[in-house]
């Protein structure tokens, strides 16, 4: 039986599975909005979070503060639940 060669498209990249782990807020924002600047990505992610009242209230119902620089694993899990993976 003849083996068929695999074809790779130019610019094709393997997608990595998104890992639920603690992320600096700026890093997670850039994963959701890679085409925006760091500050633009942060503003947009914060806006999306505020537009989901259930998400916003659950994100900060624990010991975490909205002024923290990182999202905890619990917070990242909630963000993915409401906004899907980046």
Q: Is residue 43 part of a domain?
A: yes
Confidence of residue 15 (pLDDT cuts 50, 70, 90): low
Which stretches of the chain are assigned E, i.e. beta strand?
Answer: 23-24, 70-71
Kindly tell me if the per-residue pLDDT of 39 is higher than 80: yes
Q: Is residue 44 part of a domain?
A: yes
Q: Is residue 15 part of a domain?
A: no
Confidence of residue 13 (pLDDT cuts 50, 70, 90): low
23 sits in the region (left: phi over 0; alpha: psi -120 to 50; else beta) called beta
Mean pLDDT confidence for 47-52: 94
Q: Is residue 72 part of a domain?
A: yes
Q: What is the DSSP letter of 70?
A: E
Mean pLDDT confidence for 54-73: 91
Q: Is residue 13 part of a domain?
A: no
Query: What's the rounded Cα separation, in Å, for the pair 40 and 46?
Result: 10
Kindly tell me if the per-residue pLDDT of 14 is higher than 70: no
Q: Is residue 75 part of a domain?
A: yes
Range of the domain at 35: 23-83
pLDDT of residue 66: 86
Threshold 0.85, pTM exceeds: no
pLDDT of residue 1: 53
Total domains in the chain come to: 1
Place of tokens 């998104």: 18
Q: Is residue 7 part of a domain?
A: no
Q: Is residue 38 part of a domain?
A: yes
């Amino acid at each position: 039986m003849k083996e068929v060669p695999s074809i790779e498209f130019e610019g094709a990249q393997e997608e990595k599975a998104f890992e639920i782990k603690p992320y600096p807020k700026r890093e997670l924002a850039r994963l959701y909005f890679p085409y925006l600047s760091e500050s633009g990505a942060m503003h947009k992610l914060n806006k999306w979070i505020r537009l989901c009242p259930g998400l916003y209230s659950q994100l900060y119902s624990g010991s975490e503060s909205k002024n923290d620089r990182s999202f905890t694993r619990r917070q990242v899990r909630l963000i993915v639940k409401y906004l899907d993976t980046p």
